[in-house]
Amino acid sequence: MKVLEETLNARIPSGPLDQKWTRHQGELKLVSPNNKRKYTVIVVGTGLAGGSAAATLAELGYNVRSFCYQDSARRAHSIAAQGGINACKNYQNDGDSVRRFFYDTIKGGDFRSREANVYRLTELSTNIIDQCVAQGVPFAREYGGTLANRSFGGAQVSRTFYARGQTGQQLLLGCYQAMMRQVNAGKITLHPRTEMLDLVVANGRAIGIITRNLVTGQIEKHCADAVVLATGGYGNVFYLSTNAKGCNVTATFRAYRQGAYFANPCYTQIHPTCIPPHGEHQSKLTLMSESLRNDGRVWVPKKPGDRRPPDQIPDEERDYYLERLYPSYGNLAPRDIASRAAKRVVDEGRGVGPTGVGVYLDFRDAIRRLGEQNIAARYGNLFDMYQRITDENPYKVPMRIYPASHYTMGGLWVDYNLMSNIPGLFVIGEANFSDHGANRLGASALLQGLVDGYFVLPYTIGDYFARFKKLDATTDHPEFDQAEARVKDRIRTLLSINGRRTPDSFHRQLGQLVWDKCGMSRNADGLREAIAKIPEIRQEFWENVKVVGTGEDLNISLEQAGRVADFIELAELMCRDALAREESCGGHFREEHQTEDGEALRDDERFCHVSCWKSNGPDADPDLIIEPLAFENVQLVTRSYK
Amino acid sequence: MNLTLHVWRQQGPSAPGRLVTYQAKDVSPDQSFLEMLDGLNEELISRGEEPVAFDHDCREGICGSCGVVINGVAHGPEQTTTCQLHMRSFKDGDEIVIEPWRADPFPVIRDLMVDRSAFDRIIAAGGYVSINTGSAPEANGIPVRKEDADMAFDSATCIGCGACVAACKNASAMLFTSAKVAQLARLPQGQVERKRRVLNMVEQMDKEGFGNCSNYQECEAVCPKQISTQNIAVMNREYLRASLSGA
Ligand SMILES: Cc1cc2nc3c(=O)[nH]c(=O)nc-3n(C[C@H](O)[C@H](O)[C@H](O)COP(=O)(O)OP(=O)(O)OC[C@H]3O[C@@H](n4cnc5c(N)ncnc54)[C@H](O)[C@@H]3O)c2cc1C
Ligand code: FES
């Protein structure tokens, strides 16, 4: 591994923290209203980030081309978010403020995020609620007609806005409807069932993408004045995750191969409350919203191997381990901490359920206190979902939960303007690395997607247009032909192998390896083993994968194979990053670096930085570039939730 | 358990289709219906045959991607989405007929996959509040009665899967369209465009070739989100009012 001397300019504005964004906005260059219509922007992704960006850019007058792999923009993975969205409105008068939200986010991210970005995120959070309410998003309300809030995952104030257990759905439909209004106005062209397979870079600037029409198989070239990637996270690298089945890393990974830096790939979030896997046919894992931890109590038997049914285990023989270990946060301890604690008790042989991989989330006491009816009003749909999947009634028997891959903090590197190191390539939402450091707070991903798309990118993209000379937006550049040739070659190769193993079987194998070696806890030996093993999987994949059908047609096994191929390469990068980061922070837990009582041990001397990886192609080691993190407004302290 | 599947296979919109029989072996009751189909597809790919095409993504019953007709019922026997249907709803030896949504405005793309873009065009015709980013007033400046917010929410939970259309003899899209109309008509934010919205959305719905509603209520019976046909009554009222007074 080579560490390059290069300095990355994050373009963080000067001045006091609380004035940076306002000042910056005043200094950003503008494109005049009449000129905006001369610019075309490609937005890949229609989740909260891509949807809000596409709608807002179109409202401003830009021409937008919007891409997604689903049959409709409304189905992006954001739709599945359950719990809520944070904003420091302080409606509950419980002492919330931008400053407090800022601090909670910085601390939650274990001091591995940029102060300026986080401050902007929290500062703009209040505008997001205004915007969504004005669109008709039916957030939960109090009887007086005002908006309701709840406290969520590791926050001591109630700053989470929600729409029953379907917040993501309601927010996304708001975005989607705003987009459809612009489709109607002729400002957005939709390209559903279309997958981006490569990025086109000419003269150092992003000028377009290559896509495959998933119905006809046609490979198409699209040029534009700027490309925005809003393609979500890479949690499916673990195969089993709470992400939608189609979530993939292809768009961002192909951009990485074209020169965009990948930042902190080892920062992945394992969510503590998912339904445990049941068997080998399992295709995905289902999240049980973290809001359940407001009323459910997490426990396992004190004795290892205690197989008695839960109602026969008396209270004295139960270990409410989160309450015991973290008395001030209890069951609401942050995700990474709650997940590792669950892993620890399961590793001790105290896990529950048929596989022994699981812990209880028990509502007995809450039902006694509040009555079944109130619990049903709060969590009814989640309880129903749990029952449908497991065939167990959580009003009577405690839920069983276990951590699962959920979110990825790592992603393409961007500066304060959300632009990658390739001018003209912007990255927003979960696809970038920007705001959550080493661990994301619950209910802040929806926020980030919307802040990026509604209120940041639409300003900063104009600055790019105003500062850089306008290029001819045509597909005549030879780089388009080269990119198209790369894509076609790869498809041809995949179709010609005709081996014996399905793409899915490689994905499962890879997922298990990454989960074991680069999951909830990691160590140098395991990571080295994975780094040696992954190229073997890659080699076998390219010799033995079976893809049926042709390229010029709808072809599911070809789609899968392309995505798995990219996950294999990404997995190696993740492990390299995890090996290089010789400390524990947030979701990245290195067993060699822990305190006596098993908590994460950061090394601020050596690792208070963003690790940015530069590709040298699939067969050479990537180089590392470091962006140091400067903390001017908070003191780095050990993150304690005791 | 072991099952016999009769699956609709069709190469493209204009190609002829037919039911093809497959055996599904060693299916576990804890598997979801789509996991059972995954198993079939793995086997087909291994044999060098093309897998069965079907739409799916979230597998949590919320994105609205999935949806097939199972033994004549849209989404199968449990009034949930196809992805949330589990094999414990079937028993060893069952025969299962699996077909795509059948409705003219939803042409088959391949096998069990259909084109539902007509729904997007109905929303594009008016299913929104026209407010540009940045011009929103303070959120608590618009109080909404809890009852209204809750009712609007109930309508807003539609996932756009299209089961309502597939279940309707007339291939009516009234349940889908009315859910959006009713949601926005209930909220203060939706008032300004209330009349124009319903007229435009209904016009688009008709243009797409969806049929009329004859009150069979089959739509409600299959809706995985329990969207009520009361929404249709609301839409009819809204439509009448708007056409009488002019938008
Ligand atoms: C089950 C679950 C529950 C969650 N709950 C919450 C919550 O309560 N609160 C919270 O804040 N966060 C939550 N999160 C996290 C949050 O939902 C996501 O981080 C966020 O929605 C991501 O939004 P996005 O716009 O960045 O990407 P996504 O919504 O993932 O959208 C990605 C888009 O990119 C498109 N795309 C991807 N690859 C390609 C390609 N190669 N070509 C073309 N298009 C492509 C897709 O079609 C899609 O439109 C949850 C996540 C999960 C999994
Ligand atoms: S796959 Fe999303 S609703 Fe079934």
From B58, B84, B146, residue closest to A80, measured CB to CB: B58
Each residue of A335-389: pLDDT tens digit?
888 999 999 999 999 999 999 999 999 999 999 999 999 999 888 888 988 998 9
SS3 B96: strand
How far is the centre of ligand 2, averaged over its atoms, from the C-alpha of B77 (Å)?
Answer: 16
From the alpha carbon of B62, which atom of ligand 2 is closest?
Answer: 3
Contact B68, B100 (CB under 8 A): yes
Residue A446 sits in the same domain as residue A489: no
Residue A34 sits in the same domain as residue A179: yes
CB spacing of B146 vs A141 below 8 angstroms: yes
From B59, B136, B143, residue closest to A134, measured CB to CB: B136
**Mind telling me how many Å the CA of A88 is from chain B's nearest CA?**
13
From the alpha carbon of A48, which atom of ligand 1 is closest?
Answer: 25
Residue A545 sits in the same domain as residue A592: yes
Q: Residues 6 or more apart from A614 whose CB is under 8 A from it?
A: A4, A259, A261, A622, A623, A624, A625
Strands across the sheet with B3-10, in order?
B17-24, B3-10, B95-99, B69-70, B73-74
Residue A40: give its domain's CATH number: 3.50.50.60
Q: Which ligand is nearest to the CA of B159?
A: 2
From A76, A91, A130, residue closest to B137, measured CB to CB: A130
Q: Poorest-confidence range of A269-273, A280-284, A564-568, B111-115? A: A280-284
**A391, part of any domain:** yes
Contact A575, A517 (CB under 8 A): yes
Res. A639: pLDDT tops 80: no
Each residue of A234-265: pLDDT tens digit?
999 999 999 999 999 999 999 999 999 999 99
Which residue among B110, B133, B168 closes a domain? B110
Q: Poorest-confidence range of A217-221, A332-336, A631-635? A: A332-336
C-alpha to C-alpha distance for B94 and B30, rounded to whole angstroms? 16
Which residue among A419, A436, A467 closes a domain? A467
C-alpha to C-alpha distance for A622 and A424, rounded to whole angstroms? 23
pLDDT at residue number A155: 79
Residue A358: give its domain's CATH number: 3.90.700.10
The alpha-carbon radius of gyration of chain A (Å, integer) is 24
Residue B66 sits in the same domain as residue B132: no
How far is the centre of ligand 1, averaged over its atoms, from the C-alpha of A639 (Å)?
Answer: 28
CB spacing of B62 vs A278 below 8 angstroms: no
How many degrees, rounded to 5, is the angle at CA A381 between CA A376 and CA A384? 90
Give the ipTM of the model, two decimals please. Answer: 0.98
The alpha-carbon radius of gyration of chain B (Å, integer) is 20
* Domain housing B211: 117-244
Residue A383 sits in the same domain as residue A454: no
B96 touches chain A (CB under 8 A): no
Residue B201 sits in the same domain as residue B233: yes
Checking DSSP bridges between strand A188-191 and strand A63-67, what pairing results, if any?
parallel
**Mind telling me how many Å the CA of B230 is from chain A's nearest CA?**
19
pTM of this structure: 0.97
Residue A514: give its domain's CATH number: 1.20.58.100
- Residue ranges of B 102-131 with Cβ closer than 8 A to chain A: 109-110, 113, 115-117, 119-120, 123-125, 127-131
Which residue among B110, B131, B147 closes a domain? B110
pLDDT at residue number A47: 98
Residue B56 sits in the same domain as residue B123: no
Question: Mean pLDDT score of chain A, rounded to an integer?
Answer: 95
C-alpha to C-alpha distance for B234 and A641, rounded to whole angstroms? 51
Average pLDDT over residues A40-65: 98
Which residue among A382, A405, A428 closes a domain? A405
**A7, part of any domain:** yes
**A640, part of any domain:** no
**Mind telling me how many Å the CA of A490 is from chain B's nearest CA?**
19
Closest to A45 in 3D by CA, of A205, A219, A233, A223: A233
pLDDT at residue number B246: 63
When divided into structural domains, chain B yields a total of 2
- The band of B247, judged by pLDDT with boundaries at 50, 70 and 90, is low
Residue B240 sits in the same domain as residue B121: yes
From B64, B136, B140, residue closest to A131, measured CB to CB: B136
Neighbours of A388 (CB within 10 A): 18
**Mind telling me how many Å the CA of B42 is from chain A's nearest CA?**
7
CB spacing of A138 vs B116 below 8 angstroms: no
Residue B83 sits in the same domain as residue B161: no
C-alpha to C-alpha distance for A274 and A629, rounded to whole angstroms? 33
Which residues is A189 bridged to in the sheet?
Answer: A65
Checking DSSP bridges between strand A63-67 and strand A40-44, what pairing results, if any?
parallel
Residue A255 sits in the same domain as residue A298: no
Residue B78 sits in the same domain as residue B19: yes
Which residue among B92, B110, B128 closes a domain? B110
**A385, part of any domain:** yes
SS3 A454: helix
pLDDT at residue number A290: 83
Is ligand 2 within 6 A of the CB of residue B162?
no
From B31, B110, B153, residue closest to A554, measured CB to CB: B110
Residue A430 sits in the same domain as residue A540: no
Residue B171 sits in the same domain as residue B211: yes
* The one catalytic residue among A112, A120, A205, A335: A335
Average pLDDT over residues B94-120: 98
Residue B39 sits in the same domain as residue B148: no
**A551, part of any domain:** yes
From the alpha carbon of B81, which atom of ligand 2 is closest?
Answer: 4
How far is the centre of ligand 1, averaged over its atoms, from the C-alpha of A233 (Å)?
Answer: 7
Phi-psi region of A243 (alpha: psi -120 to 50; beta: other; left: phi over 0): beta
C-alpha to C-alpha distance for A424 and A207, rounded to whole angstroms? 7
Res. A315: pLDDT tops 70: yes
Each residue of B10-60: pLDDT tens digit?
999 999 999 999 999 999 999 999 999 999 999 999 999 999 999 999 999
pLDDT at residue number A598: 83
Residue B61 sits in the same domain as residue B12: yes
Residue A180 sits in the same domain as residue A34: yes
Closest to B198 in 3D by CA, of B238, B165, B246: B238
Residue B39: give its domain's CATH number: 3.10.20.30
**Mind telling me how many Å the CA of B206 is from chain A's nearest CA?**
17
**Mind telling me how many Å the CA of B216 is from chain A's nearest CA?**
27
When divided into structural domains, chain A yields a total of 3
From the alpha carbon of A290, which atom of ligand 1 is closest?
Answer: 8
From the alpha carbon of B58, which atom of ligand 2 is closest?
Answer: 2
Residue B87 sits in the same domain as residue B133: no
SS3 A214: coil
Task: Indicate which residue's Cα is closest to atom 3 of ligand 2.
Answer: B61
Task: Indicate which residue's Cα is closest to atom 11 of ligand 1.
Answer: A443
B26 touches chain A (CB under 8 A): no
Residue B81 sits in the same domain as residue B197: no
* Pocket residues: Cβ below 6 A from ligand 1: A 44-50, 67-70, 76-78, 80-85, 167-168, 195-196, 230-232, 242-243, 247-248, 250-251, 287, 406-407, 429-431, 443-446, 449
- Residue ranges of B 163-222 with Cβ closer than 8 A to chain A: 183-184, 187, 189-190
Residue A181 sits in the same domain as residue A42: yes
Residue A490 sits in the same domain as residue A544: yes
Residue B5: its H or E element: strand B3-10
Residue A378 sits in the same domain as residue A416: no
Q: Residues 6 or more apart from A564 whose CB is under 8 A from it?
A: A503, A504, A506, A507, A510, A541, A545
User: Chain A contacts of B129, Cβ < 8 Å?
Assistant: 134-136, 177
CB spacing of A190 vs B184 below 8 angstroms: no
How far is the centre of ligand 1, averaged over its atoms, from the C-alpha of A175 (Å)?
Answer: 13
Residue B196: give its domain's CATH number: 1.10.1060.10
Contact B199, B247 (CB under 8 A): yes
* Domain housing A309: 271-405
From the alpha carbon of B224, which atom of ligand 2 is closest?
Answer: 3
Residue A441 sits in the same domain as residue A512: no
Residue B96 sits in the same domain as residue B59: yes
Q: What's the N-to-C CA distance of chain A in angstroms?
A: 38
Is ligand 2 within 6 A of the CB of residue B62?
yes
Here the tokens at position A246 are 């189609």
pLDDT at residue number A467: 96
**A155, part of any domain:** no
**A64, part of any domain:** yes
Residue A254 sits in the same domain as residue A318: no
How far is the centre of ligand 1, averaged over its atoms, from the C-alpha of B120 (Å)?
Answer: 20
Contact B115, B106 (CB under 8 A): yes
Average pLDDT over residues A195-202: 98
Contact B240, B170 (CB under 8 A): no
- The band of A153, judged by pLDDT with boundaries at 50, 70 and 90, is low
B82 touches chain A (CB under 8 A): no
Res. B187: pLDDT tops 80: yes
Average pLDDT over residues A578-586: 97
**A19, part of any domain:** yes
Contact A376, A289 (CB under 8 A): no
User: Chain A contacts of B137, Cβ < 8 Å?
Assistant: 130, 134
Assess whether A335 carries a catalytic annotation.
Answer: yes
Is ligand 2 within 6 A of the CB of residue B224?
no
